[in-house]
Amino acid sequence: MVNEKRKKEILDAISNAVVQYDEDECAARCKTALQEGLDAYEATMKGLAVGMETVGELYTRQEYFVPELLLCSDALYAGLNVLRPHIRTDHAVSKGKLLLGVVEGDIHDIGKNLVKTMFEAAGWEVHDLGRDVRLDKFVEEQKKIKADLVGLSVLMTTSMMAIEKVTGMLKAADPGVKVLVGGAPLNSEIAAKFGADGYAEDAVSAVQEAGRMINRAHLHTMPMP
């Protein structure tokens, strides 16, 4: 196992490769991380995702524009492809079926894909509807799939408003359905205000919250002794 100094060096190199939109460098530094024994999830969140945060700041300062964001996303995915097969989570959490997508009007799917990766690593069956998903498509698919949870991802304040609508539509079709939401503009108060049953800040806590949500649902449906 590497010491803290070397670990920081590798994580910074991964993050910089995302910011410099250097796909080859990003994939190479992720391979180094694995070879030197770093945890794949830590390299994803403290390397790749941190790089994307810096990219967001550069975009806000108008130093980067949409083309750079796209190139940086490509670099992030080049690294994620290396790390993804090595990501492990706590297999003791409850497993179930998740219907997942980014709501209509929103094409940001990097966070949703990390959430998907973590659920799959934890043994969940994930039905991924992709990004910019029509709201009635969530209801239509949930009728077919009957997932334990519907997961909604949003990245913009504008698309955030869809949560209340689609949660209402899902619950009108099936009052028992459980909805988990996440994404940068949300927090637990907003999620609750929009009628969601659960909120998670990141991909790991999403799996943990999902486990708690389906365990609670099972407890409520257990017959009284």
Contact 9, 32 (CB under 8 A): no
Per-residue mark of binding to ligand B1M, 66-85 (x: CB under 6 A): x--xx--x------------
Closer CB to ligand B1M, residue 67 or residue 225?
Answer: 67
Question: What amino acid occupies position 166?
Answer: V
Site for ligand B1M in 143-172 (CB under 6 A): 151-153, 155-158
CA distances from 169 to 52, 95, 138, 177, 218 (A): 33, 25, 9, 11, 23
Torsion from C-alpha of 176, 182, 187, 188, nearest 10 degrees: 30
Helix (H) or strand (E) holding 29: helix 23-35
Sign (positive/negative) of CA torsion 130, 136, 138, 141? negative
Closest distance of CB 110 from ligand B1M, Å: 3
Asked if 13 is part of the footprint of ligand B1M (rule: CB under 6 A), the reply reads no
The answer to whether the beta carbons of residues 180 and 199 sit under 8 Å apart is: yes
Q: Which of 142, 182, 207, 214 binds ligand B1M (CB under 6 A)?
A: 182
Could you say which residues in the range 127-146 bind ligand B1M, by CB under 6 A? none
| Count of residues of this chain found to bind ligand B1M when the rule CB under 6 A is applied | 38
Residue from the set 9, 42, 125, 202 that interacts with ligand B1M by CB under 6 A: 202
* Interaction site with ligand B1M (CB under 6 A): 49, 52-53, 55-56, 59-60, 66, 69-70, 73, 105-112, 114-115, 151-153, 155-158, 180-185, 200, 202-203, 206
